[in-house]
Amino acid sequence: MLIERRSSTDPEVAALVATQQRELAEAQRVGRPVDPAAYPLHDDAHYLVCVVSGRAVACGAVRSLDGRIAEITRMYVRPAYRGRGIARHLLTALEESAYALGHTVLRLETGSYLPAALHLYATAGYAQIPVYGEYVGNPYSVCFEKRAPVVAA
């Protein structure tokens, strides 16, 4: 497994995010087609992709909300690759990327209908917080936050 940085224009990132959005719509039982244009890739985000045997199988991004707060977003692992610890490795790499960029607080949003994601974030040290930003008003949104570890001098 290799985790590498990719740009927002990378076609494999776009394909993973489009697949993620279709799967989320199905999980929400929205019953309407998902328009990938409705979920644009953020040009200001730092994307990471997990590659297994030459195939991009997972993605995630770090996006700055302000000087100290970053959002982890677009976390997705293809179904055939779940249960192998890929999401946890990817989450750790995204956290390290955010900390390297100078962020000290990480936030993220997931859906209440995604028990595996809720478990991942809770066991990775994230604490549930009130819904923030664009997620306010979404009845399915569950938000989390994690602060950078304090390093003793």
What pLDDT shows up at residue 39?
53
pLDDT at residue number 44: 80
Torsion angle (degrees, nearest 10) of CA 86, 2, 16, 128 = 40
- Asked whether the predicted pLDDT for residue 29 surpasses 70, the reply is no
Name the DSSP class of 71: E
Domains of the chain: 2-147 (3.40.630.30)
Share of the chain above pLDDT 90, in %: 68
**Of 16-20, 61-65, 101-105, 120-124, where does mean pLDDT reach its minimum?**
16-20
Whether the predicted pLDDT of 17 surpasses 80: yes
DSSP-derived secondary structure letter, 2: E
What integer is the mean pLDDT of 119-146? 95
Sign (positive or negative) of CA dihedral 128, 130, 134, 139: positive
pTM for this one? 0.87
Contact in structure between 52 and 11 (CB atoms under 8 Å): no
| pLDDT exceeds 50 at position 34 | no
Mean pLDDT, the chain, rounded, equals 89
- Supply the pLDDT for residue 40: 58
Q: Are 108 and 62 in contact (CB under 8 A)?
A: no
> What residues are paired with 142 via a beta bridge?
110
pLDDT in tens, 97-131: 999 999 999 999 999 989 999 999 999 999 999 99
